[in-house]
Amino acid sequence: MRTPVEALEALIRSWPMIVEECRCVLAAELHYQAVVYHCLREVGGVPPGQIGMNVKMWIEDVESDFFKVLDLRKAPGFQGGFEPIPDVVIFGPDIQGDFRRRNNSNTLRQMIMAIEIKASERHQGRLRAKEIIDDVLKLDAHRLEARHRGYDFLPAVIVVDTAPHLAERMTPGAVDSAKLAAEERGVCFFYLSPEEEFQRTSTTL
């Protein structure tokens, strides 16, 4: 697996199994991250040395306005860069199974897909569009940093909106807002609830 398009094809192949397994359980986001990882390995055919979870990628001298704002929020002495930590990352083969934080320049170079996962596990509340849009903006900024350095990858958001009660699920308007934000920025958008599932993919590279 070498290209962002091949990574997207792996995610699309995995999507039916992701939907099925996510609908089987009610859990926190970490569980659904593991489900996505498992399905990408089992059905998507992503080699074990090319897929990581919660990969820390320290980026010095950030270029994007989004990361600059987040950097300035940090205490003095801790500024000077930003560290995005995508939930699931697919790399090209030259990563050679090394996703360590100390290998940050290579993880950014070799990344071909970054996935953020959001779940409707909110006690007496619901998943809001802003939470997903923030992830879309973070992915968009991460891609800008990669492109500034001569690399590129495909970003994706997966929304697991499987809360059993309607009052704990996203409203249709919130889903539309999040989906539109993703489409405007070329971020792939995958959504599932107990009754519905859809995908909006992008190959904007």
Q: Is the confidence at residue 205, as pLDDT, over 60?
A: no
* Residues sharing a CB contact under 8 Å with residue 44, sequence separation 6 or more, in sequence order: 10, 11, 13, 14
Task: Give the residue-averaged pLDDT of 48-54.
Answer: 97
Least confident of 120-134, 156-170, 178-192: 120-134
Task: Note the Cα 141 to chain centre separation in Å.
Answer: 12
Residue 132 lies in a domain: yes
Position 140 in a domain:
yes
Residue 44 lies in a domain: yes
* Model confidence at 78: pLDDT above 60: yes
DSSP secondary structure code for residue 204 in this structure? -
- Residue 168 in domain: yes
The secondary structure element, H or E, covering residue 85 is: none
Residues 6+ apart with CB under 8 A from 113: 4, 7, 8, 11, 89, 90, 153, 154, 155, 156
> Which residue carries 């270029």 as its tokens?
63
* pLDDT above 80 (res 101): yes
Q: Tell me what pLDDT residue 65 has.
A: 84
* Nearest CA-CA partner of 87 in 55, 49, 44: 55
Domain count of the chain? 1
More confident call, 156 vs 167:
156
Of 73-77, 127-131, 159-163, the poorest mean pLDDT is in 73-77
Euclidean distance between CA atoms 82 and 27, whole angstroms: 29
Q: Is residue 205 part of a domain?
A: no
How far is Cα 169 from Cα 119, in angstroms, rounded to an integer?
9
pTM for the structure as a whole? 0.93
184-189 contacts: CB < 8 A, separation 24 or more?
A: 185/136, 185/137, 185/139, 185/140, 186/140, 186/155, 187/136, 187/139, 187/140, 187/155, 187/156, 187/157, 188/8, 188/11, 188/154, 188/155, 188/156, 188/157, 189/156, 189/157, 189/159
The residue range of the domain holding 69 is 4-200
- 20 lies in some domain: yes
Name the pLDDT band for 195 (thresholds 50, 70, 90): very high
